Amino acid sequence: QIQLVQSGPELKKPGESVKISCKASGYTFTDYAMHWVKQAPGKGLKWMGWINTYTGKPTYADDFKGRFVFSLEASASTANLQISNLKNEDTATYFCARGLKFGYWGQGVMVTVSS
Amino acid sequence: DIVLTQAPLSVSVTPGESASISCRSSKSLLSSKGITSLYWYLQRPGKSPQLLIYQMSNLASGVPDRFSSSGSETDFTLKISKVETEDVGVYYCGHRLEYPYTFGAGTKLELK
């Protein structure tokens, strides 16, 4: 069955970096784009951008340009999200979601940024 | 950016009754390919969102046919007939017409 399994929760200090992974299984990884969605505590969903899993080309929403990097380990069917110079407002759950429909979602990774 | 406005923000429904959620777009979601780029998701408490409806009116795989969606180019309605306990959560509409993809603020469905 199709699954997106994300890495575990993270507790970081402001200014640090974090890398989140999203491992896909049950389908051909390069057949579907991978999107990233942010959900701040108690808030709604915010699209961050996506990565073309065939070419590796990332596309970022304006609010996520600069400190955010999407990358792939295609041989491991894994998409990654790296956030550098973490700020308190980066505290959120980060989801990966498959394809344009967002038809499958990872379980989410809670990133807490606190001094 | 396209703004999606959902109403109501919350709804309380008696099990077995129906519920409707509205989503209004600030721009037509009809693409040049003739597809209406409107999606519905349910996020159950403590869970990831799940796809319910794609391209305005198509039921996602495995979703009960108690869920249906219709609309025009800018106004959309998700209808849930015979609400069940498992339908509790927050419903989001979202679009894929252009960057950035955006979501509505969500509608919380509770049971009476």
Query: What does the alpha-carbon distance between residue B82 and residue B63 come to, in Å, rounded to a whole number?
Result: 14
Mean pLDDT, residues A18-31? 97
**C-beta atoms of A101 and B54 within 8 A:** yes
Picking from A45, A61, A100, the nearest residue to B49 by CB comes out as A45
Residues of B (41-80) whose Cβ lies below 8 Å from A: 41, 43, 48-51, 54, 60
Q: Locate B31 and state its tokens.
A: 């693409």
Query: What does the alpha-carbon distance between residue B64 and residue B68 come to, in Å, rounded to a whole number?
Result: 9
Position B105 scores a pLDDT of 98
**C-beta atoms of A47 and B50 within 8 A:** no
Q: A92 near A83, Cβ under 8 Å?
A: no
Position A77 scores a pLDDT of 97
Amino acid identity at A103:
G
Mean pLDDT, residues B75-91? 98
Mean pLDDT, residues A88-100? 98
Contacts of A46 in chain B (CB under 8 A): 103
pLDDT tens readout for residues A61-73:
999 999 999 999 9
Position B54 scores a pLDDT of 98
Position A74 scores a pLDDT of 84
Closest residue of chain B to A36, computed from CA coordinates:
B101
**C-beta atoms of A105 and B49 within 8 A:** yes
pLDDT tens readout for residues B37-78:
999 999 999 999 999 999 999 999 999 999 999 999 999 999
